[in-house]
Amino acid sequence: MMKIDARGVYYRNLNKIIRDAVASGEKEFDLINVNGQRYIGDGLQGSDVKIDIHGVPGNDMAAFMDGPTLIVHSNAQDDVSNTMNEGKVVVHGHAGDVLGYGMRGGKLFVKGDAGFRVGIHMKGYMDKAPVMIIGGTAGNFFGEYMAGGVLILLGINRKKDTPIAGDYLGTGMHGGVMYIRGEVDPYQCGAEVGISELNDEDKKNLSALIKEYCNDLGFNYNEIMSEKFVKLYPKSSRPYGKLYAY
Amino acid sequence: MNNNYDFQKDIAGCGLTGIISTKGRKISGSVIRCSIACQHDRGNGLGGGFAAYGIYPKYKDHYAFHLMYDNMEAKKTAEAYLDENLTVDLAEEIPTKKSKAIPTSPILWRYFVKVKDSKKGSSVANISDDDIIVNSVMHINSDIHGAYIFSSGKNMGAFKGVGFPEEIADFFMIENYEGYIWTAHNRFPTNTPGWWGGAHPFTLLDWSIVHNGEITSYGINKRYLEMFGYKLTLLTDTEVVAYMLDLLIRRHGLKPEIACVALASPFWKSIARMPEDEKQMVTALRMVYGSALLNGPFAFVFGYTRGMVGMNDRIKLRPLVVASKDDMVYMSSEESAIIEICPSPEKVWAPKAGEAVIVNLDKDVAA
């Protein structure tokens, strides 16, 4: 295991150390005193690479990442898992805006709240199905233009009268599925979104994912599953077909 | 003013930080320097700046004018104007330290002034000293070629220029100042030139603003402000916000929280769902202050003598994080920039779109 004290280390140097070490066979990293260094894990390959991060990593962590596991033992900032292809990110705190933008594979688990524009244009293809689970609440534009994968919002510990998600929920959604723990007001949703109960297939998928999430973040599975979930799905796979196709 | 700096349209950040001690405790400028330096990569070296409150206690009843001049002639003309219209009790060069990073600068001078008795406005016409100071700032900035007032409040000051903010901090030696509110900015100019006058903060009287984003409603806002005598001379969208705060809060007497609703008012579809009295209030604000509405992506922090406000645009297209510990409140574009100067805050949160976070000094604190 390689331990790196990141205090005062410029992001470029930090990331070069990690990339070079991975290239020469290092599998496990423990980063301490991280604060604000951008692009950690970006484009990194290797499903057996694991990086523990202590401190708040900077923006665009795990962008284009293709295999490794990142464990953030604090809060994370904006743009985590941008266009991530494979691997796993677990954040033991809250995270910022624009998480999982165009994410196409792998998993992103956040323990606390997430910001605005989370899960925009997540997509799936063939065996690729990205999964994002947010333990707290999310801001506006959650799952906007969603094209594939699974988005789960749990709203754990949220205050009364705090909506679990903001407005424009799933606007432009045309693929994938969302499971939201609690009530969703149709007013919040985009016109392209359908709301329904979960079927047996949904319940099976959800159950497996929540088990994994609880295992990683120390939540009680039964407690989380004791509340009702709703399913959000796209009414059409081509909501704007009539607008742009002749 | 000369604009010798290369600039091009680019798409990126801008970083900002604001800190306030609600107990009015003085904090060294070296603290905010750390926080904004942590966001180094949000800027590109074409602008950095700071505003600080409580830094001129010896002259706290004077307006502190900070001026930048292109040449000695501009200085002569501006000083003649100041002498004629104001009592200048102290004029001195702003202390700076030249460095490799900031090898040249405009001529930087500061003046501690009061309105001359003979020039005071009539109370019948309701013209205050503040109005006279605003007129002086507008006159110098628009009519004296090569002279710009970049700070004009009491017991506060702005320090700014072309460079990374940590370089600007060292240039002005801001570690030598102590303030109970600090704001800082790291600039990445997108649509307007990077020049000394265009660095943030923008100020008028004790209003100061640092901003990340673009005010796409600049044209409408500018024309609206011009009707009230403001002259927009600094070639940058953010200038409108500083003057808008002066107009709405000082001249029209709106509370900061109400002014913020006018600047980033809720969408009509949200207003339609509000309780009746709130609906009427917000509808009235939108109708009266339609031209004050700021459109486009922004996060900004503005300071004034008794407080600091952070706010996002209505759909939160720029980042803003707030944290608190004891008597301190921090606002920044990135959480790490707060952690840099406050390693374990009690509370960290991201305000919702268009939600103003208003932090005032405790009532019993004299500013």
A38·B41 Cβ contact <8 A: yes
Using an 8 Å CB-CB cutoff, list chain A residues near B34: none
Residue B202 falls inside a structural domain: yes
B208 SS3 class: strand
Nearest to A167 by CA among B285, B296, B352: B352
What string of H, E and C letters represents the secondary structure of A144-180?
A: CCCEEEEEEECCCCCCCCCCCCCCCECCCCCEEEEEE
- Distance in Å, alpha carbon of A146 to nearest chain B alpha carbon: 19
Q: Is A94 on the interface with B (CB under 8 A)?
A: yes
Question: How would residue A116 be classed by pLDDT, with cut points 50, 70 and 90?
Answer: very high
- Distance in Å, alpha carbon of A61 to nearest chain B alpha carbon: 13
- Outline where DSSP puts E strands in chain B: 15-21, 27-28, 48-53, 63-69, 86-93, 107-115, 147-151, 156-161, 178-179, 181-186, 202-204, 207-213, 298-304, 307-312, 321-325, 328-332, 347-349, 357-360
Q: Which of B315, B335, B353 sits opposite A56 (nearest CB)?
A: B335
Nearest to A83 by CA among A102, A97, A67: A102
Question: Tens digit of pLDDT for each residue in A31-46?
Answer: 999 999 999 999 999 9
Q: Is A96 on the interface with B (CB under 8 A)?
A: yes
Give me the DSSP letters along B260-310: HHHHTPPPHHHHTTS-HHHHHHHHHHHHHTGGGPPPSSEEEEEEETTEEEE
Q: Which tokens hold the place of A19?
A: 């990339």
Using an 8 Å CB-CB cutoff, list chain A residues near B335: 56, 75, 77, 96
Q: Which of B39, B41, B319 sits opposite A97 (nearest CB)?
A: B319
Q: Does residue B252 register a pLDDT over 80?
A: yes
Among A31, A59, A162, A171, which would you mutate to test the B interface (most chain B Cβ atoms within 10 Å of its Cβ)?
Answer: A59
- pLDDT averaged over chain B? 94
- What's the pLDDT score for residue B81? 97
Phi and psi of B149, rounded to 5°?
-90, 120
Question: Tens digit of pLDDT for each residue in B111-155?
Answer: 999 999 988 877 777 889 999 999 999 999 999 999 999 999 999
Whether the CB-CB separation of B202 and B241 falls below 8 Å is answered with yes
- Distance in Å, alpha carbon of A121 to nearest chain B alpha carbon: 17
User: Which range marks the domain in which residue B207 is found?
Assistant: 15-360
Question: Tens digit of pLDDT for each residue in B56-96?
Answer: 999 999 999 999 999 999 999 999 999 999 999 999 999 99
Question: How would residue B7 be classed by pLDDT, with cut points 50, 70 and 90?
Answer: very low
Q: Which residue of A has its CA nearest to B267?
A: A167
Q: Which residue of A has its CA nearest to B39?
A: A36
Look at chain B and report how many structural domains it folds into: 1
Q: Which tokens hold the place of A24?
A: 């020469």
Question: Could you say which DSSP state residue A125 is in?
Answer: B
Residue B270 falls inside a structural domain: yes
Question: Tens digit of pLDDT for each residue in B288-334?
Answer: 999 999 999 999 999 999 999 999 999 999 999 999 999 999 999 99
Whether the CB-CB separation of A170 and A143 falls below 8 Å is answered with yes
- What's the pLDDT score for residue B364? 93
- CATH value at residue B210: 3.60.20.10
Nearest to B36 by CA among B53, B56, B57, B52: B52
Q: What is the mean pLDDT of residues B340-351?
A: 97
Q: Which distant-in-sequence residues (6+ apart) come within 8 Å of A183 by Cβ?
A: A164, A230
B340·A94 Cβ contact <8 A: no
Whether the CB-CB separation of A98 and A115 falls below 8 Å is answered with yes
- What's the pLDDT score for residue B9? 40
| B29-33, B105-109, B238-242: least confident range | B238-242
Question: What is the distance between the alpha carbons of residues B10 and B214, in angstroms, rounded to a whole number?
Answer: 12
Better-predicted residue by pLDDT, B243 or B123: B243
Q: How many CB atoms lie within 10 A of CB A217?
A: 17
Q: What is the mean pLDDT of residues A54-80?
A: 98
- What's the pLDDT score for residue A237? 85
Q: Does residue A89 register a pLDDT over 80?
A: yes
B350·A59 Cβ contact <8 A: no
Q: Is A163 on the interface with B (CB under 8 A)?
A: no
| A24-28, A110-114, B48-52, B118-122: least confident range | B118-122
Q: Does residue A81 register a pLDDT over 70?
A: yes
A58·B334 Cβ contact <8 A: yes
Question: How would residue B1 be classed by pLDDT, with cut points 50, 70 and 90?
Answer: very low
A166·B350 Cβ contact <8 A: no
Question: Could you say which DSSP state residue A224 is in?
Answer: H
Q: Does residue B11 register a pLDDT over 70?
A: no
| Domain range list for chain A | 94-240
User: Which listed CATH number (2.40.30.10, 2.60.40.10, 3.40.50.670, 2.160.20.60) goes with A94-240?
Assistant: 2.160.20.60
A58·B336 Cβ contact <8 A: yes
Question: Tens digit of pLDDT for each residue in A134-154?
Answer: 999 999 999 999 999 999 999
Question: What is the distance between the alpha carbons of residues B89 and B83, in angstroms, rounded to a whole number?
Answer: 10
Q: What is the mean pLDDT of residues B251-259?
A: 96
B41·A75 Cβ contact <8 A: no
Q: Is A136 on the interface with B (CB under 8 A)?
A: no
Residue B247 falls inside a structural domain: yes
- What's the pLDDT score for residue B12? 53
- What's the pLDDT score for residue B250? 96
Q: What is the mean pLDDT of residues A111-117?
A: 97
Using an 8 Å CB-CB cutoff, list chain B residues near A75: 335, 348
Give the residue numbers of B annotated as catalytic, written as ranges: 14
Q: Which of A77, A94, A116 sits opposite B316 (nearest CB)?
A: A116
Question: Tens digit of pLDDT for each residue in B184-230?
Answer: 999 998 777 888 999 999 999 999 999 999 999 999 999 999 999 99
Residue B2 falls inside a structural domain: no
